[in-house]
Chain A
Amino acid sequence: MESNRVEAEALFRLVEQLYGARLTEAELEEVRKGVERIVEASAELRAVRLGNWDEPFSVFTPYRRRGK
C-alpha cells in the first residue's frame, strides 16, 4: 500500500538520522525491513474501528506513600 510505503520511508529516515552513524549499510537495510514490518502491523491495528470510550487496557493508580 502506497501510504504504508511512504510512512515506512519517513520513519526509516528518522531512525537513520538518529542512529545511522552506528550502523553499516547492510544493517541499515535490515533496519528498513524492520520498520516496514512495524508499519504493516500498525496498519492492521488502525484498520480496527474503536469508540471514544474504548480505553487502553491499563489502569493508572495515583500514588501516595503509606501513612503520610
Chain B
Amino acid sequence: MNPVYASVRDLSEAIRAGEASPVELAEVFTERLREHGHRLNSVVAIMEKRALREAKAAQREISLSGPRGPLHGVPYGVKDLIAARGAPTTWGAAPLRDQVLKYDATAVRRLRRAGAVLCAKLAMIELAGGMGYKQPNASFTGPCATPWSLGHWSGGSSSGSGASVAAGLVPFALGSETWGSILSPANNCGVSGLRPTYGRVSRHGAMALSWTLDKLGPLCLTADDCGLVLEAVSGYDPGDASTSRRRYRYSPEKDDFRLGVPVDALDEAQEAVAGNFKDSLRVLEKFATVEEVRFPDFPYEAVTRTILNAEAASAFDEFTEQGLARGLTAPEDRYGPYARTAVLARDYLKALRLRERMARIAEDVMAGFDALVAPSRKAVASPIDQEFRKVSPGTAKDVMGALGNGAGLPAVSVPNGFSGEGLPTGLQFMGRAYDENRVLSAAVEYQRRTGWHRRHPPAFKP
C-alpha cells in the first residue's frame, strides 16, 4: 500500500495485516518531511534517530505479540511547544531556538506507550501567538504555507501540524489551542482538527500561554482518526492538576443527531464560506435535525480575552522583563507583551467570575443539542505576505471561539469544500463539556457522506 494520505485507521489495519511495517513507514515519512517540509516552512526538526529506534521497537513487538492498539507503529509529529527528548523545543521563538527540555511531555509519553513513532517537531507561531501577532511571518522558521497554495497561510498557531498533515508529511500531529490555534490551521489546510475539552489532555511538558485556556489536541486526515489519537493521549495526570479523572474511550456510536446553528453563524462570512456552509447544512439535514439557536448578549470575547491577556502576561513575565521579546520575528510581537501588563487584578478576577456564568449560558443554549455547527473560520487562508487581520473579516464577533475556549468546550473542524481559488473551508461541530464522542460522531457521519477529506493538495501527491 502507499501509506501517504492513508488514515491512521487504515495504516493500523495495514500494519496489523503485515502490509506495512513501522520501519518502512518511519522511513517514508521522514523522507517526506525532508523533501517537502522546507517548501512549507512546516518543520522545525526531523527526529530520524528517535523515529527509527521507536519504529524498530514497534516492529519487533508487533511481530512477537501483535499491535498494542491502533497507533502502534504509526508515525506522527508534534507542535514545537511540546517537549520531546531528542530535539530542541523552541516554542517557535528565535530567542529560544536552542532550548533543550530533556524529557517527554505527558502527551508524548502516552503516544510512546501506545506505540506511535515520533518523527518531527513541527513549526508554530512564536510563543503560540501569545504576543499578539498579526501576520504569518511570526516564527523563526518563516511563514508556514497551506499545501493548497504556497502563497497562502497555513493558519496558526499550530501551523506546521496542520500543514504537515495536509501535505502527507505525517499521518497525524499534535497541536494546541488557547483560542483558535487548532481550528484555524485545520480550516486553512483542509484537515480535521479536534480541540478537546479543557483538562482532557495533560498540558505537562507543553509551553504555557494561558493555564486555564490551553488545550492539546490532534490534527488528522479524518475526524475518526482524531478520536483514536484523543483516546491515547487523554486522561488524568498528576503532572497537570487540571486534568480530568473522567476516562475517555472513543466510541462513535450515535447516528441520530440534533444540531444547532447560531443565527449569526454567517455574519460577515466570505461568499465561499457561506456557500459551502449552506451546502453542508443540506448534508447534515439528511441525518440530523437542524435548528437555529441564539446566544444571549454577554461579553463573551471580553471574558476570554481578559483571561488570556492576564495569564499570558504572567506566564511570560520573565521573558518580557528580560527584554527577550526584542528578538522575536514579527515586529508586533516585540511590543505586544507590554500592553497586557496593564490588565488589573480586579478585571482578571471579574473575568474568572463571569466565566462560570458563561459556562452556564453555554449549557442552557446547548441543552438538548449534540453539537452546534458553524463555519470553522469566516474566511479562507489569507495571502502569506499580508496581515491576516486586514484581509479576514475584521469586525465579526467570534462568539463560538470565545465561548468554546472560555468555557473549555470541545470542537472538531472538518473540511467542507473549497473557494473559487482552491482554498479549503471548514465546518466546526462544538459540543458540551466532555462530549467529544458526540461531536466526533456527527463529524464522522458528515465525512462518511462527503469526500472533502479525501482530497489532497496536488503539489504534494506522492
Contact = CB atoms under 8 A, between A and B. Distances in A.
Interface of A: 11-12, 14-15, 18-19, 22-23, 27-28, 30-35, 37-42, 44-48, 50, 54-58, 61
8 closest residue pairs by CB, A with B: A34-B339, A56-B352, A44-B299, A44-B302, A27-B335, A41-B302, A11-B342, A57-B356
B172 to A, nearest CB: 32
Contacts of A47: 299
Given A22-B326, A57-B356, A45 B341 contact: no
Interface in B334-373: 334-336, 338-344, 347, 349-357, 359
A57 B359 contact: yes
A46 B305 CA distance: 14
**Residue among B299, B303, B332 facing the most chain A CB atoms (10 A cut-off):** B299
A30 B342 contact: no
Given A45-B302, A48-B299, A55-B356, A23 B350 contact: no
B212 interface: yes
Interface residues on B, range: 35 or more
Contacts of A35: 339, 342
Nearest to B298: A48
A14 B342 contact: yes
A45 B354 contact: yes
Contact of A45 (B332, B335, B350): B350
15 contacts: A12-B342, A23-B338, A30-B332, A31-B338, A34-B132, A41-B309, A41-B347, A42-B302, A42-B306, A42-B343, A42-B350, A47-B299, A50-B357, A57-B359, A58-B212
A42 B323 CA distance: 27
Interface in B254-303: 298-299, 301-303
Interface string B307-327: 001000000000000010010
A54 B353 contact: yes
Contacts of B309: 38, 41
B352 A57 contact: yes
A66 to B, nearest CB: 10
Contacts of A32: 339
A16 B340 CA distance: 12
Contacts of A19: 338, 341
Contact of B342 (A22, A38, A44, A54): A38
A21 B340 CA distance: 17
Contacts of B342: 11-12, 14-15, 35, 38-39
Contact of B354 (A22, A27, A50): A50
A38 B359 contact: no
Nearest to A22: B323
B347 A54 contact: no
A48 B359 CA distance: 15
Nearest to B351: A45
Given A50-B354, A58-B212, 8 more contacts: A14-B342, A18-B341, A34-B336, A34-B338, A37-B339, A41-B306, A42-B306, A48-B298
B339 A45 contact: no
B356 A31 contact: no
A50 B302 contact: no
B339 A15 contact: yes
A25 B96 CA distance: 27
Contact of A23 (B301, B302, B306, B335): B335
B338 A45 contact: no
A14 B132 CA distance: 20
Contacts of B354: 45, 48, 50
B335 A31 contact: yes
A55 B339 contact: no
Contacts of A61: 241
Nearest to B306: A41
A54 B356 contact: yes
Contacts of A38: 306, 309, 339-340, 342-343
Contacts of B347: 41-42, 45-46
A18 B339 CA distance: 11
B344 A42 contact: yes
Contacts of B339: 15, 30-35, 37-38
A58 B350 CA distance: 12
Contacts of A37: 339
Contacts of A34: 132, 336, 338-340
B308 to A, nearest CB: 10
A44 B297 CA distance: 11
